Each structure stands twice: as C-alpha cells, then as structure tokens.
C-alpha cells in the first residue's frame, strides 16, 4: 500500500486549517434558546472539561476546521459549556453528562434532538450535523399549509428557509412568490430574495445582485459578500456534479463581477477542483502550480493539502508526483506539525530516500510529544523505514 499514509492524511487533512472554524455563542443558555427559536435553528453544545484529552483534541482539530465552521455557523447556534463550572453544573441538572465530551443537539424549545458521547473527527462531525438537520426538517409542515392555500409572506418565507436548511429545492416556491409581488424593492421582499438565494445560476441571484445597493444596508456588506461566495460555490459544486464547464465558467464569472476581492483565488481554486474531479491531469497540474505561486507559497497547510490531494487523485502520474514531493518538502520546511514531516517522510521512503525518510520521521516523533495517537503512528513508520 504505497500511499497508505498519504491517503490517510488526505482524509484527515481538513483538520489542518488556518480558518477560524466554529464561532461559539457567548451569551447565556436562555439567550441561546431564544436565538435558536427565532432563527429556527438547533443548538449544538460541546459539553466538555478542561482536563479532557479528547475534548482538547476536538477543539483543536475539528472545531477550527473551515468546512466545519462554514456548516455549523450557518446551520446551528453553537455553545461550549465547561461541565465543572457554574453554567455546566446547572446545564447538567436538565441534560445529564456522564462522559466527555458529550455533544448535545437541542432545539429552540429545549428538546433534545440527539445526544452523542465521545469525540468525532471532521467527516463524522459534519455527517452528524447533516443528520441532525434531517431530524428537524419543518418544511413538510409548511408545505401542508402552503398547499392548503396559505400564501402569506410569513409562511412562504419560513417555508423557503426550511427547504434551504434541509437541502431541498426552494427555487420554484421562491420564484412563484416573487412573481406575485408588485414591489420587489420593499424591505420585506429584499430580505426574502436575499434569504432565498442559494445558487449563482439562478434568477434570484440576478435579482439580488441588481439590488445590491438596496440589500447591503439591510444585511451588511460582509454578510452580503459571504452569501454571494456561497452561491458561487454551490454552482461550482453543481458544475462538478454534472461535469459542466458552462456552470463552472458561470460561477467564476459571477464571482469576478460581484466579489472581485476574492475572485482570483476562488477562480484558481475552482479550476483545481473541477480538473481534479474530471481527472484532467494537465489542467490540474497547471491550476495547482498557479495556486501555489499566488496563494500558497508560504502557507504549509495549503502546501500539505495540495500534496495529499495529488496523491489521492493522481498516484501514478509521474509529473504530478514530482510536484507533490516538492509541495511536501515545502510544507515540512515551513510548518511544525508532525503531519507535514510524516507525510514528507513517506514520500521520501517511496522514492528510495530511506535516510531522509528516517530523519523526517524522527522530527515527526519529536513534534508529536503529548499526542499519543500521532506519536504512535510516527514511531510505527520509523520502525518500518529502519527495518527496510
């Protein structure tokens, strides 16, 4: 299994991220319940203690992950509660905790949706979050009222938001409502179309961007731009799903027009993602070199991730494997995480550089002190190199 470690690291690479991750709510429990009720969200509670090793590991490697942050910040109200402090002791009177961490998902009425014991990795935690949303899908309730003839703005707005939250198509309902309106520039309708915006390849995207000067004062410039970026990301994802170059180009063009500050990085990354999915080695090679030069040359996490991505998608492509080795070396030179050095060590070993691989594995062991799982892995691979 030549690329066992590299593949393993690629699966877990999302834990190596410079993003801020989950933005935990700082208010009281009562404030969180009110916020969840108003926004029709579920509260995620990390019930932890300061001495719990798995709690610390999850806080460091999962809650800081960009994908986790993007998903949970949009879909949940998140809280961290120390079970040995006053708030935690009070919390346990209603929501018992016997193991750490315990992950609670509680709706705005205070009802437990699900309780999970033990730390999760990034992929499992995202899957858990998605499964929670499927359990609190209110769209069917709103659908029944809608089909019974309720077309009130309040009902339609809730219906559309519930459809979006549950990952269901909302375009038909949203477009039908907007077509029925005489004044699309009212504050209520501006907010509705902004909330209904999901993808860049939609009529609503044009309606929103045409009214940018009216919508920004309602939602704020930063929130507006985040929504634009997410809409373009969803269209890019659709382009990959349907192998559509036209959709990819549309996402890139709209990002350039409506979010120019991030468009260059978005568009280069879009080329990387699309060519990777299409198994276009030449296109991916060109895109990854551009991304490295412009956006990743001094960022070890990005360099590491690109190397692991190459090994995952193009393990037998000689030109890309040469590039992957360069990226792995740069990441190990710039970063001090054991993952970087162990990843580089494995690549060196597979390229018959046994002594260099041993040296990198020893660096990984030293950097892993205090993390038994990583240290054990590094020791295991060092032994493999030394006995070869």
Exposure of 197 by Cβ count < 10 A (0-12 exposed, 13-18 middle, 19+ buried)?
A: buried
Give the Å distances, CA to CA, from 303 to 272, 309, 325, 350: 14, 10, 10, 19
Q: Which of 360, 374, 369, 367 is nearest to 386 (CA)?
A: 360
CA distance 308 to 347: 10
CA distance 57 to 182: 54
DSSP 15: G
Q: Which helix (H) or strand (E) holds 294?
A: none
Residue-by-residue DSSP string for 44-100: EEEEE-TT-HHHHHHHHHTTT-HHHHHHHHHHEEEEEEETTSHHHHHHHHHS---SS
- Residue showing tokens 């070869």: 388
Residue 114: phi, psi to the nearest 5? Answer: -165, 150
Q: Is the dihedral of CA 358, 364, 368, 372 positive or negative?
A: negative
CA distance 100 to 54: 8
CA distance 65 to 70: 9
Residue 220: phi, psi to the nearest 5? Answer: 95, 145
Residue 7: phi, psi to the nearest 5? Answer: -65, -40
Catalytic residue positions, numbered = 52, 55
- Residue showing tokens 């932890």: 48
């Amino acid at each position: 299994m030549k690329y066992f470690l590299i593949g393993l690291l690629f699966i877990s690479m999302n834990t190596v991220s410079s993003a801020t991750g989950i933005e935990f709510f700082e208010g009281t429990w009562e404030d969180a319940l009110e916020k969840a009720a108003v926004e029709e969200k579920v509260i995620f509670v990390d019930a932890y203690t300061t001495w719990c090793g798995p709690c610390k590991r999850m806080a460091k490697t999962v809650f800081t992950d960009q994908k986790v942050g993007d998903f949970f910040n949009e879909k949940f109200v998140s809280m961290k509660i120390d079970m040995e402090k006053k708030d935690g002791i009070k919390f346990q009177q209603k929501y018992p905790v016997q193991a750490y961490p315990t992950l609670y998902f509680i709706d705005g009425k205070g009802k437990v949706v699900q309780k999970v014991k033990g730390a999760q990795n990034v992929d499992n935690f995202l899957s858990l979050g998605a499964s929670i949303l499927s359990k609190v899908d209110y769209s069917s309730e709103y659908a029944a009222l809608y089909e019974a003839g309720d077309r009130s703005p309040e009902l339609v707005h809730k219906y559309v938001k519930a459809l979006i939250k549950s990952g269901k198509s909302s375009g038909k309902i949203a477009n039908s409502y907007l077509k029925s309106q005489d004044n699309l520039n009212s504050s209520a309708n501006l907010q509705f179309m902004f909330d209904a915006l999901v993808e860049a390849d939609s009529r609503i995207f044009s309606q929103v961007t045409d009214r940018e000067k009216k919508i920004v004062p309602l939602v704020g410039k930063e929130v507006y731009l985040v929504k634009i970026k997410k809409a373009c990301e969803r269209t890019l994802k659709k382009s990959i799903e349907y192998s559509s170059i036209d959709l990819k180009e549309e996402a890139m063009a709209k990002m350039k027009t409506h979010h120019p500050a991030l468009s260059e990085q978005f568009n280069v990354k879009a080329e990387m993602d699309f060519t990777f999915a299409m198994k276009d080695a030449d296109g991916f090679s060109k895109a990854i070199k551009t991304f490295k030069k412009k956006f990743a040359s001094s960022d070890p996490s990005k360099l590491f991730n690109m190397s692991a991505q190459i090994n995952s998608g193009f393990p037998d492509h000689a030109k890309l494997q040469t590039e992957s080795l360069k990226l792995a070396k740069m990441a190990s030179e710039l970063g001090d995480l054991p993952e970087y050095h162990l990843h580089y060590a494995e690549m060196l070993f597979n390229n018959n550089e046994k002594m260099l691989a041993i040296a990198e594995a020893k660096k990984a062991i030293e950097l892993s002190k205090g993390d038994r799982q990583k240290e054990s892995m590094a020791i295991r691979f060092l032994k493999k190199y030394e006995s070869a």
